[in-house]
Amino acid sequence: MNLPEDKDILRGDIRSVARAIRAVEDDWPGSRALLVRLFPHAGKALTLGITGPPGAGKSTLVDRLTTHFRKAGKTVGVIAVDPTSPFSGGAILGDRIRMQNHATDDGVFIRSMATRGALGGLSATTAAALLVLDASSKDILIVETVGVGQDEVDIASEADIAVVVLVPGLGDEVQALKAGIMEIADLFVVNKADRDGADRLASEIAMMLSLTGETKGDRPPVVRTVATSSQGIEELASTIDEVRARRETSGALAARRRERLLRQFETQVDALLRERVRRRIDALDPSQHLRERVQNRTIDPFSAADETLAGLDPAKP
Amino acid sequence: MNLPEDKDILRGDIRSVARAIRAVEDDWPGSRALLVRLFPHAGKALTLGITGPPGAGKSTLVDRLTTHFRKAGKTVGVIAVDPTSPFSGGAILGDRIRMQNHATDDGVFIRSMATRGALGGLSATTAAALLVLDASSKDILIVETVGVGQDEVDIASEADIAVVVLVPGLGDEVQALKAGIMEIADLFVVNKADRDGADRLASEIAMMLSLTGETKGDRPPVVRTVATSSQGIEELASTIDEVRARRETSGALAARRRERLLRQFETQVDALLRERVRRRIDALDPSQHLRERVQNRTIDPFSAADETLAGLDPAKP
């Protein structure tokens, strides 16, 4: 569990970056201090959140976008938040498949992150991994999540630009699920746009957007792609750049980054307190008597929590 | 924001139960004390967690199971955790559609719960709603979630019996997503079993289960249904009952309930502390100076959190 050297992370050495991310993900000793040291070096990258229903082709789209950014001379870091496989223990799609087109390219770093068992919560872990990548001098950070599930949608919505990927022809309930992510989009992608129903989907989106009351110029643009054949990727990249420029001018980008930092601060306060409280609960309840009572239903969880806090001075370490 | 009478909740009066759930969901004054008073009346219901990918037909299955349980003379409470619609503000599928077959039946209570914006987190809110329903003398509680997203899967996995619903013929990535929920299943349902690929899906599940090393009798059973025509619902209900009986005998059911109570206790401690801390942060940082520094990146979120806790005596209210 040796931490990598700061300087190796900062220069983007792939093994050191990978080890640093593992360290913050698994909460190795010293990993928090590492994040503190890396923080001043971060804050320069543009962060894209890419989300959408299962089957929308997000990982292919991310792959093609990565290729595009690399051709434009930009370095890219990808955090793909994948559902965890119960058997392999690893994330389903896995780094290996995702890496196949970029395996020999030092300017690309790709990491799958498991959705379950993330210490300190998925959101905190993803933020920490993005901080490492940002400090490692990546120009573009992409965080890809499935657009279902509260944490997953939140993570994408906190990016500088949230891209929502939809596809024609998913089932009714799947279409309904989309609605939960419509509101976070700064940009829509209709992927698999060569399929039947692409026009209808695009006009459905336009109609929903027209209901928001925003003037047309302020509404999120809609880009059509066929990621598998790289169709529309160039247009997507230039639209992303337009959205970035517009949000920079309007101050929306800066505001979102400020929001994100505030959330990270609050999450850290929560995490520190929770850790402190857990230690104090152990100290106050060494025989686990209170927890035993909770489990036997001789006290309700609410009153037990009151009792814990009454006997607690979390100001002490 | 008047709370309903305890006695009306306990006798299962639908309007009172609905109001109580709204109260705990929106954190009305007195709602926590209400939960404390209801707690001794709860703990008798059997809780089913029903989860699966979007499009698996979960809500229809829940509807048919409810009808079945009602015919068997059992009262039923349903909490459906639905993705939120950005435009209506309400949950997508909605209580109205879900209720249509049970609208005139006082023995059924159905409530959709929005996934976003739940105060105190989705898991705590769902647990509180289930506690109200349990105290209102429902025999069976069903909590239905989409099987994607950390919180959503956790909620289903904490039920007495976790039922994972799959369907043949979903896309590849959707199939991959399933894997994230395979491990929590106490029982599998292959729904839409009249479709092509049902046999293949059933044998895929069987094969995955054979890899777990459990003896055949201990593996989760697999039931085929066509929920739309109520096919297999009777078998599903009797399989649920067998699983319940087996888990009762083995002590697994009691163990899970004890686990659930412990989690609720910890969640409550966290919630109380977080509230206390938020008040203290405001008191310590009335000019929002520290938060301003975080947002300006003149201090990192980690060090800012340390600073907050150093100046904090959360033992004080």
Q: Does B97 touch chain A (CB under 8 A)?
A: no
Q: For residue B5, is it within any domain?
A: no
Do A222 and A287 belong to one domain?
no
Which of A89-93, A289-293, B254-258 is predicted with the least confidence, judged by mean pLDDT? A89-93
Say if residue B120's pLDDT is above 90.
no
Arithmetic mean of pLDDT, A65-87: 84
Q: For residue B150, is it within any domain?
A: yes
Nearest of A258, A61, A38, A244 to residue A136 by alpha carbon: A38
pLDDT class for A154, splitting at 50, 70, 90? confident
Do A196 and A286 belong to one domain?
no
Do A175 and A219 belong to one domain?
yes
Q: Nearest by CB to B265, which of A146, A176, A304?
A: A304
Do B162 and B70 belong to one domain?
yes
Which B residues 133-172 touch A at CB under 8 Å? Answer: 146, 148-153, 170-172
Q: In Å, what is the CA distance from B290 to each residue of A255, A266, B83?
A: 17, 12, 35
Q: For residue A257, is it within any domain?
A: no
Please report the pLDDT score of residue A285 as a whole number.
73
Nearest of B8, B38, B42, B43 to residue B24 by alpha carbon: B38
Do A109 and A55 belong to one domain?
yes
Please report the pLDDT score of residue B273 as a whole number.
76
Residue A36 and residue A24: Cα distance in Å, rounded? 12
Q: For residue B26, is it within any domain?
A: no
**Looking at residue B62, which CATH number applies to its domain?**
3.40.50.300
Q: Nearest by CB to B122, which of A150, A182, A265?
A: A150
Q: Does A277 touch chain B (CB under 8 A)?
A: yes
Q: Among the ranges A73-77, B54-58, B303-307, which has the highest mean pLDDT value?
A: A73-77
- Contacts A270 to B, Cβ<8 Å: 270, 274, 277
Do A280 and A244 belong to one domain?
no
Q: Which tens digits make up the pLDDT trace of A5-58?
A: 999 999 999 999 999 999 998 889 999 999 999 999 999 999 999 988 777 888
Do A57 and A136 belong to one domain?
yes
Q: For residue A10, is it within any domain?
A: no
Higher pLDDT, A53 or A197: A197
Please report the pLDDT score of residue B250 as a whole number.
93
Which of A119-133, A204-218, B227-241 is predicted with the least confidence, judged by mean pLDDT? A204-218
Do B228 and B280 belong to one domain?
no
Do A219 and A277 belong to one domain?
no
SS3 A314: coil
Residue B84's DSSP bridge partners are B91
Say if residue B276's pLDDT is above 90.
no
Residue B233 and residue B280: Cα distance in Å, rounded? 53
Residue B197 and residue B188: Cα distance in Å, rounded? 16
Q: What are phi and psi of A272, to 5 degrees?
A: -60, -45
Count of the separate structural domains present in chain A: 2
% of residues, chain B, pLDDT over 70: 85
Please report the pLDDT score of residue A85 as a whole number.
46
Say if residue A77's pLDDT is above 70.
yes
CB spacing of A297 vs B116 below 8 angstroms = no
Which of A20-29, A157-166, B54-63 is predicted with the least confidence, judged by mean pLDDT? B54-63
pLDDT class for A180, splitting at 50, 70, 90? low
**Which domain-ending residue is among A199, A222, A250?**
A250
pLDDT class for B83, splitting at 50, 70, 90? low
Q: For residue B222, is it within any domain?
A: yes
- CA A137 from centroid of its chain's CA atoms: 18
Print the SS3 string covering chain B. CCCCCHHHHHCCCHHHHHHHHHHHHCCCCCHHHHHHHHHHHCCCCEEEEEEECCCCCHHHHHHHHHHHHHHCCCCEEEEEEECECCCCCCECCHHHHHHCCCCCCCCEEEEEEECCCCCCCHHHHHHHHHHHHHHCCCCEEEEEEECCCHHHHHHHHCCCEEEEEECCCCCHHHHHHHHHHHCCCCEEEECCCCCCCHHHHHHHHHHHHHCCCCCHHHCCCEEECEHHHCECHHHHHHHHHHHHHHHHHHCHHHHHHHHHHHHHHHHHHHHHHHHHHHHHHHHHCCCCHHHHHHHCCCCCHHHHHHHHHHCCCCCCC
**For A261, which residue in chain B has the nearest alpha carbon?**
B295
Please report the pLDDT score of residue B11 as a whole number.
94
Query: Could you say which DSSP state residue A294 is in?
Result: H
Helices A122-135 and A252-284: crossing angle, nearest 10°? Answer: 120
Please report the pLDDT score of residue B272 as a whole number.
80
Q: Which tens digits make up the pLDDT trace of B134-184?
A: 999 999 999 998 766 667 778 888 899 999 998 887 654 445 455 567 778
- Contacts A146 to B, Cβ<8 Å: 148-149, 177
What is the per-residue burial (b if ≥16 Cβ within 10 Å, else e) of A190-228? bbbbeeeebeebbebbeebbeeeeeeeeebbbbbbbbbe
Q: How far is B280 from chain A (nearest CA, A)?
A: 12
Residue B156 and residue B52: Cα distance in Å, rounded? 10
Arithmetic mean of pLDDT, B207-221: 80
The residue type found at B238 is: S
Which A residues 216-235 touch B at CB under 8 Å? Answer: none
Please report the pLDDT score of residue B195 as a whole number.
92
pLDDT class for A84, splitting at 50, 70, 90? low
CB spacing of B153 vs A264 below 8 angstroms = no
Residue A83 and residue A40: Cα distance in Å, rounded? 32
Higher pLDDT, B107 or B54: B107
What is the per-residue burial (b if ≥16 Cβ within 10 Å, else e) of B13-24? beebbbbbbbbb
Q: What are phi and psi of A197, to 5 degrees?
A: 95, -5
Can you give the residue range of the structural domain that contains B307? 253-317
Do B105 and B63 belong to one domain?
yes
Q: Does A93 touch chain B (CB under 8 A)?
A: yes
Q: Which tens digits make up the pLDDT trace of B2-16?
A: 899 999 999 999 999
The residue type found at A282 is: D
Residue B125 contacts residue B24 (beta carbons within 8 Å): yes
Please enumerate in sequence order all residues whose Cβ is within 8 A of that of A212, keeping only pairs 6 or more positions apart, or say none: A219
Q: B64: exposed, middle or buried (C-beta count within 10 Å: 0-12, 13-18, 19+)?
A: buried
Do B193 and B290 belong to one domain?
no
pLDDT class for B210, splitting at 50, 70, 90? confident
Cα angle at A60 between A56 and A65, to 5 degrees?
115
**Which domain-ending residue is among B212, B230, B250?**
B250
Arithmetic mean of pLDDT, A174-191: 74
Please enumerate in sequence order all residues whose Cβ is within 8 A of that of B89, keeping only pairs 6 or more positions apart, or say none: none
Say if residue B89's pLDDT is above 50.
no
Q: For residue A273, is it within any domain?
A: yes
Please report the pLDDT score of residue B317 as a whole number.
40
Q: How far is A22 from chain B (nearest CA, A)?
A: 18
Interface probe with B: pick from A58, A266, A288, most Cβ of B within 10 Å: A266
**Which domain-ending residue is among A219, A250, A281?**
A250
State ipTM. 0.79
Do A214 and A280 belong to one domain?
no
Residue B143 and residue B48: Cα distance in Å, rounded? 6
pTM, full prediction:
0.74
CB spacing of B269 vs A295 below 8 angstroms = no
Interface probe with A: pick from B166, B170, B186, B269, most Cβ of A within 10 Å: B269
Say if residue A245's pLDDT is above 80.
yes
Q: Which tens digits make up the pLDDT trace of A106-150?
A: 899 998 887 655 556 778 889 999 999 999 999 999 999 876 666
% of residues, chain A, pLDDT over 70: 85
The token duo for A289 is 């008597």
Q: Among the ranges B66-80, B106-120, B197-211, B270-284, which has the highest mean pLDDT value?
A: B66-80
pLDDT class for A82, splitting at 50, 70, 90? confident
- Contacts B273 to A, Cβ<8 Å: 273-274, 277, 309, 314
Q: For residue A16, is it within any domain?
A: no
